[in-house]
Amino acid sequence: MEKPVNMILELVVTMGTEFLNIMDPEDVEKIISDLPFRAKIEKISLEKAHKRVVAEDVYATINLPPFSRASMDGYAVKSENTFKASEDKPISLKLLEAVGAGDVPVKRIENGTCTEVSTGAPIPEGADGVVMVESTEKTDVTTDEDVTNEILIYESIAMGQNIASEGSDVKKGELLLKKGTSLTPDKIGVLSAIGQVEVPVYAKPKVAVISTGNEVVVPGQDLDYGKIYDINSRTISDAVKTCGCMPIHSEIVKDDYNTLKNKINEFEDVDIIITSGGTSAGAGDVLRTVMDEIGEVLVHGIAVKPGKPTLICLIPGKTKKKILFGLPGYPVAALMVFYIFVAPFLRKAACLKVDSNVPKFNLKLSRRYRPARGRSHNVLVKIEGDTAVPILKDSGAIASLAQADGFIKVPKNIEILEKGSMVEVLPFETS
């Protein structure tokens, strides 16, 4: 008698899959911070270097300024010629030429002569100071056949005054930017100053982003009965970008053992795989089974709400171990687990500062909040004036995402948060 209905038998078996070991968030954070990752280095053009991180110390390849230049508009002189000059007793110098920024001086300054220089102009040979234009006056001396410009100097200047001498700012060979420097516009300016067009930076870790589920379809397609649009591919990809990593989009994968296994194996080149869906201990969940076969499960189950069924695994590969984060399928849960557990790791892998620097707000809770016992809670909130209003919908709700300005963390030992308690609101991101 071959009686048992196969389909139902299979369900009985898979429904037996249980979380092996629900871990506290702190223990999971420790496991994540110990995950192996080796950053690669690449050379990229300065045009694309904004927000990247310098991977090798950068030394100056030229002097800055590259030549001695005037730091004021005025007249280049021999400073000793001005020693007797004063407001009521100017001395007179013969004007040789005028040199603008970008020009090359032709004439050498001898005693009794000067050259007009603009800010940034090279200092003529023989000069050792610049009298600023405000301390001078131009006069014409007319002889039989000629008009000569004479400059009256009303100020005595010191040697080197108003000159930025070659290398006084940066000396060739000097350390300019340390490895690990974040390439904000000012630092990119430093590289431009020495004429660099490329810079060695840490390569962006490649992160495959896979939505799983038989019910999930790509936005823009028709929505058949029983189906929902894919949300997590897009949200997680965008969130991956803000962590300095490169998301690699995947087609949606059915909750089927072979399909999922093949898809994961397809991403041989990536560093990290983030899936969403297929992690609960329920029917149709195959990620855990695939991971038990091809990887090593480090975490399956975190004592946090939402986000309990999260999976973290190592997958051996030809050259390196890949890391897999299996996020829950519900978008709110997926995003929260991403921001709390995954983002710090991605930022570290990208060699960014681990703290995202998104400013946090300290606000008053608008109403009493009592978490369920035994788990840490992360609660979406909406900011209204100086209060944080908890959004108490389940993590499948989209309306809550539409309203949320961020979330608060409620540790597991908290039994009640009274109305008016100060809470720290963590925005998902800002721009």
Tell me which residues in 82-111 interact with its own copies (CB under 8 A).
Answer: 95, 98, 100-104
Among 173, 282, 316, 420, binds its own copies (CB under 8 A): 282
**157, 151 contact by CB (below 8 A):** no
**Among 48, 378, 82, which Cα is nearest to 183's?**
48
Helix count and strand count (H, E) for the chain: 9, 26
Tokens of 383: 């900011």
- Interaction of residue 187 with its own copies, rule CB under 8 A: yes
Minimum CB distance to its own copies smaller for 133 or for 303: 133
Member of 22, 39, 194, 383 binding its own copies (CB under 8 A): 194
Contacts to its own copies from residues 408-427, by CB under 8 A: 427
Beta carbon nearer to its own copies, 230 or 271: 230
The answer to whether 213 contacts its own copies (rule: CB under 8 A) is yes
Q: Which is nearer to its own copies, 263 or 322 (CB)?
A: 263
Count of Cβ atoms closer than 10 Å to residue 108 Cβ? 12
CA 253 to chain centre: 30
Question: How many residues contact its own copies, by CB under 8 A?
Answer: 110
Give the residue from 208, 213, 216, 211 showing the smallest Cα distance to 265.
208
Which one of residues 87, 89, 293, 359 is an interface residue with its own copies (CB under 8 A)? Answer: 359
User: Candidates 26-34, 80-88, 217-225, 366-374 — which segment interacts with its own copies by CB under 8 A?
Assistant: 217-225
Work out whether strand 113-117 and strand 74-77 pair parallel, antiparallel, or are unpaired: antiparallel
Nearest in space to 273 (alpha carbons), one of 284, 281, 261: 261
> For residues 91 and 99, which CB has a smaller minimum distance to its own copies in the complex?
99
Q: Does 159 bind its own copies (CB under 8 A)?
A: no
Q: How far is CA 112 from CA 116, 125, 154, 167, in A?
A: 14, 14, 14, 28
Residue with the two structure tokens 């048992």: 4
Residues numbered 236 to 255 that lie near its own copies (CB under 8 A) are 236, 238-239, 241-242, 244, 255
Per CB under 8 A, 186 contacts its own copies? yes
Q: Which is nearer to its own copies, 262 or 430 (CB)?
A: 430
